[in-house]
């Protein structure tokens, strides 16, 4: 497009029945991606994604690999459609992720919101798709069987500092925390069910415009969820983390991961620490990004970005949006 891009990927909560079906039906590479997901996971997750039921798709153990699969399938469909536009980053062995895109479409950064960071790691070549699938499936299993219990809610109309101030009064024992700093006036909180209810009432009194419970079966980015960190670290010891072909912005810092060796530790901290999405987006904008391209189901992340920085946003989720993106690429190159 002649201007610096960032590819961004959505997290849990973006799932919906039917996601990915259109690219499955139109793209050979996307179809292969879904077939690989079914094979790696040992059950037809694509069928749950396409046909439901929604209750099954919303379960953490299903939603996490499903969201990853949808994002990577859409990215692979994009790579298939743009193959004729120029030389890819790597030659020889069949590349995946952003390495399969023509050099001119290579993003300056990739990042993912919460669970979306795993999609970003695949896009940047840090993990293979099958490795990431196994990792998020294990992460979801550990969270469901050994993780913290509780809930999450989105708060609109207050900043993270304002929400923190209310939490210090209404939940001083740490039973609720700010889990995601999503923007200047939008955050997500996580905590025990009882505490979340009490804090939400206090936030409404403090001026929150909206308080929305999230479709999630466990409180991520919540300190007690860190109890599964040791098990997750042990699982990751059997996975090879490669140097990224483009910088991957880390949720826990809002800055690019410094090396492949530091990523497993960041992913462990990711369980219990705040998602610094506001800082991540500002970091990429300061790095020169002028267009953010959301790849995956829905447009949640694009909506967050519009409230953080003055930049263009595009969302790619199906064949028509892929075509629209390619048309913009061709128009910008004239």
According to DSSP, residue 254 is labeled: S
pLDDT at site 331:
65
Measured between alpha carbons, how far is 32 from 59 in angstroms, rounded to an integer? 24
May I ask the CATH architecture of the domain 5-145+225-332? 3-Layer(aba) Sandwich (3.40)
CB 311 within 8 A of CB 285: yes
Specify whether 257 is catalytic: no
Q: Which of 179, 168, 178, 175 is nearest to 202 (CA)?
A: 168
Q: Domain 151-217 is classified in which CATH homologous superfamily?
A: Malonyl-CoA ACP transacylase, ACP-binding (3.30.70.250)
Task: List every span in the chain annotated with CATH 3.40.366.10.
Answer: 5-145+225-332
* Known catalytic residue at 221: yes
SS3 68: helix
Note the pLDDT of residue 78.
95
Q: How far apart are CA 114 and CA 116, in angstroms?
A: 5
Annotated catalytic residue, options 114, 175, 317, 321:
114
Q: Which of 14, 46, 113, 221 is catalytic?
A: 221
| Contact between 133 and 45 (Cβ < 8 Å) | no
Quick one: pLDDT at residue 262? 96
> What tens-digit pLDDT sequence spans the chain (334 residues)?
567 999 999 998 889 999 999 999 999 999 999 999 999 999 999 999 999 999 999 888 999 999 999 999 999 999 999 876 655 444 444 557 898 888 888 899 999 999 999 999 999 999 999 999 999 999 999 999 999 999 999 999 999 999 999 999 999 999 999 999 999 999 999 999 999 999 999 999 999 999 999 877 789 999 999 999 999 999 999 999 999 999 999 999 999 999 999 999 999 999 999 999 999 999 999 999 999 999 999 899 999 999 999 999 999 999 999 999 988 877 665 5
Query: Are the C-beta atoms of 259 and 243 separated by less than 8 Å?
Result: yes
Residues facing residue 275 across a β-bridge: 180
**What pLDDT, on a 0 to 100 scale, did the predictor assign at position 90?**
46
- Range list for CATH 3.30.70.250 in the chain: 151-217
CB atoms within 10 A of CB 119: 33
């Amino acid at each position: 497009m002649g201007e610096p891009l960032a590819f961004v990927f959505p997290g849990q909560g973006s799932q919906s029945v039917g996601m990915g079906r259109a690219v499955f039906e139109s793209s050979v590479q996307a179809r292969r991606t879904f077939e690989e997901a079914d094979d790696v996971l040992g059950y037809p997750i694509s069928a749950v994604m396409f046909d439901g039921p929604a209750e099954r798709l919303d379960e953490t153990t299903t939603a996490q690999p499903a969201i990853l699969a949808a994002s990577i399938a859409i990215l692979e469909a994009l790579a298939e459609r743009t193959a004729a536009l120029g030389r890819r980053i790597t030659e020889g062995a069949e590349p995946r992720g952003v390495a399969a895109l023509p050099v001119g479409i290579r993003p300056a950064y990739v990042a993912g919101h919460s669970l979306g960071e795993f999609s970003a790691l695949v896009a940047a070549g840090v993990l293979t798709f099958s490795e990431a699938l196994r990792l998020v499936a294990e992460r979801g299993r550990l969270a469901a069987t050994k993780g913290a219990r509780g809930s999450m809610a989105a708060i609109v109309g207050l900043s993270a500092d304002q929400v923190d101030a209310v939490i210090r009064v209404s939940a001083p024992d740490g039973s609720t925390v700010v889990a995601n700093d999503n923007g200047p006036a939008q955050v997500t909180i996580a905590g025990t069910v009882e505490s979340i209810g009490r804090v939400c009432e206090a936030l409404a009194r403090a001026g929150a415009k909206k308080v929305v419970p999230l479709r999630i079966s466990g409180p991520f980015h919540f300190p007690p969820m860190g109890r599964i960190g040791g098990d997750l670290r042990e699982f990751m010891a059997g996975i090879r983390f490669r140097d990224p072909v483009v910088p991957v912005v880390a949720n826990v810092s809002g800055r690019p991961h410094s090396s492949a060796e530091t990523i497993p530790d960041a992913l462990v901290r990711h369980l219990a620490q705040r998602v610094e999405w506001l800082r991540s987006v500002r970091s990429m904008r300061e790095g020169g990004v002028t267009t953010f391209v959301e790849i995956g189901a829905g447009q949640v992340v694009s909506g967050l970005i519009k409230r953080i920085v003055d930049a263009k946003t595009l969302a790619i989720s199906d064949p028509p949006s892929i075509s629209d993106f390619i048309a913009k690429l061709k128009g910008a190159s004239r």
